[in-house]
Amino acid sequence: MFLSIYTLVHVAISLIGIGSGLVVMWGLLTRRNFNGWISLFLATTIATSVTGFGFPVARFMPSHAVGILSLVLLSFTLLALYRFHLAGVWRWIYVITAVLALYFNMFVAVIQAFEKVGVLKAIAPTQSEPPFLFTQAILLGLFVLMAILGVMRFPGDAVRAAAARRQMSRAMWQGGE
């Protein structure tokens, strides 16, 4: 029973991460900054990777490698956004690592869909069949395109300005005490 609840929570967190990540990607492509969505995306994507390690398994699995890689990428995403405020090269590091983190979530979601959804499992039972490979190739292509367009379009100015306003606001509140 505990494993069922744990799985449900993990899946819910993953889906929230994917949904909020899609909003963040929309912001990258349309030159908008959705601070709240970015925070939600980062928190739930980190939680997805962390909770993925809580499943009982007997050996190291490919999902563990994806989780570790995702957490490494997300550490750069966090540094780029919160430490370096997207200055200089950190703007494109943020875009690429955020896009890759979402891609990893979607990559795993496709794998899970082909394992759990009957009609998908029937057309690709070993996940080496053309429908599965085609789906993963299309997904990868879309995310490569999203990364390229995001780097070209996303202005770090909006995020830096928002960070400066938050910092100024904090300084005003601390100075007023």
pLDDT, mean of residues 36-41: 94
Q: Using the structure block, give the residue that is written with the tokens 């100024």.
A: 168
Distance, in Å, from the CA atom of 86 to the CA atom of 177, rounded to the nearest integer, reads 31
| Model confidence, pTM | 0.84
Q: pLDDT tens, 102-118? A: 999 999 999 999 999 99
Q: pLDDT tens, 146-173? A: 999 999 888 766 555 656 666 776 677 7
What are the DSSP calls for 112-163, one per residue?
A: HHHHHSHHHHHH-TTS-SHHHHHHHHHHHHHHHHHHHHHHHH--HHHHHHHH
Distances (CA, A) of 64 to 18, 36, 56, 126: 18, 28, 12, 20
* pLDDT value, residue 45: 97
Distances (CA, A) of 5 to 1, 10, 110: 6, 9, 21
Q: Using the structure block, give the residue that is written with the tokens 């879309």.
A: 142
129 three-class SS: coil
Domain locations along the chain: 2-175
